[in-house]
Amino acid sequence: MSGIQMARRSALARVGALVAITRSRKFLLSRVKESSDAGVTGTPAGAFNSESNGSPLVQREFIFSSAPFASCHASTIAELLPGGFMAAWFGGSAEGKPDVAIWGSRRTSDGWSAPMELAREPQIACYNPVLFHTQSGRLWLYYKFGPHATSWAAGRQWSSDKGATWSAVEHLPAASTVRFGPSPW
């Protein structure tokens, strides 16, 4: 059983989100199980090893250590211009449950904010948030929602103040094709 499977199976495990910022400006965000030796469970071997020669790791830190949800998954992160970060993920009692919403946190010079709810659909689970900037500087959040992957719909909202406030959610037309794929890195 992998570390990620063990962390998911342990209902009593304290779970957080770890972010690692690399010199190449790639962001590794992973759900991890806290342990007394500060090890990282469920992360590829060496991915966060800042002791090795030539490591691209610049910084690693937890985004949160406690949250108003039991489980989280599918994180995304965007650099806020100029400086700072915004991360988002889906979280709730368990993946696919109707209480699963999109949550986020902003990183400023003061550290990460407490997790805040960004989007929630009535009695239906939300999934797979994606954050990105447009040329105008607007920060967009896209996400999926629905009872099953074969019937997901998409929603979006935007922020013009680096994620401090967000527009109302806009549901995309059912006929639109929105494909969220894996990260290019």
- What share of the chain has pLDDT > 70, as a percent? 60
Residue 19: pLDDT over 60: no
CB 71 within 8 A of CB 92: yes
pLDDT at 35 > cutoff 70: no
Tell me the Cα Rg of the chain: 16
- pLDDT tens digits for range 70-88: 999 888 999 886 678 999 9
Mean pLDDT for all residues in the chain: 73
Q: Residue 179's pLDDT is what?
A: 55
For 67-185, CATH gives: 2.120.10.10
User: Which tens digit of pLDDT belongs to each residue from 96-106?
Assistant: 999 999 999 99
Q: How far apart are CA 132 and CA 76, in angstroms?
A: 9
pTM: 0.69
- The amino acid sitting at 140 is W
The token pair that represents 182 in the structure block? 């894996």
C-beta of residue 131 within 8 angstroms of C-beta of residue 77: yes
User: Which of 46-60, 74-88, 111-125 is the least confident region?
Assistant: 46-60
Q: What is the DSSP string of 148-176?
A: SGGG-EEEEEEESSTTSS-PPPEEPPTT-
Alpha helices in the chain (DSSP H): 3-9
Domain with CATH 2.120.10.10 in the chain: 67-185
